Amino acid sequence: MPLPVVDYLKIPEDGDPYLEGHKCTSCNSIFIGERSVCSSCSSRDKMEAITLGSRGKLYSYSIVFRSFPGIDVPYISAIVDL
């Protein structure tokens, strides 16, 4: 089984891959990646893990071939509305 390259990509053994986001229970803002403080309302310890939608609209993407030392390339950077 392939391993995810980012920690918010989850690949369960008995299901389909999905992206995990975190939702602030104070202001309902949603973020990708784990965090303990909401960057929208500054609430602490109010983030809960959620499964993000499996379909979305791709607005733009870029394949990055050069990056900072220690960051593996190539990788894809994208703006997606889920």
SS (H, E, C) 16-71: CCEEEEEEECCCCCEEECCCCECCCCCCECCEEEEECCCCCEEEEEEEECCCCCCC
* Most confident option among 2-6, 25-29, 70-74, 75-79: 25-29
- Predicted pLDDT of residue 3: 66
Residue 1 lies in a domain: no
Domain coverage including residue 76:
9-81
Cα separation of 19 and 3, whole Å? 14
CATH number at residue 46: 3.30.40
- 4, pLDDT greater than 70: no
Q: Note whether 82 and 46 are within 8 A (CB).
A: no
Question: Number of folded domains in the chain?
Answer: 1
Residue 4 lies in a domain: no
Residue range 17-60, pLDDT digits in tens: 899 999 999 999 999 988 899 999 999 999 999 999 888 999 99
Give the position of tokens 């990708």. Answer: 32
- Predicted pLDDT of residue 57: 96
Residue 36 lies in a domain: yes
Q: Which two tokens stand for residue 1?
A: 């089984």
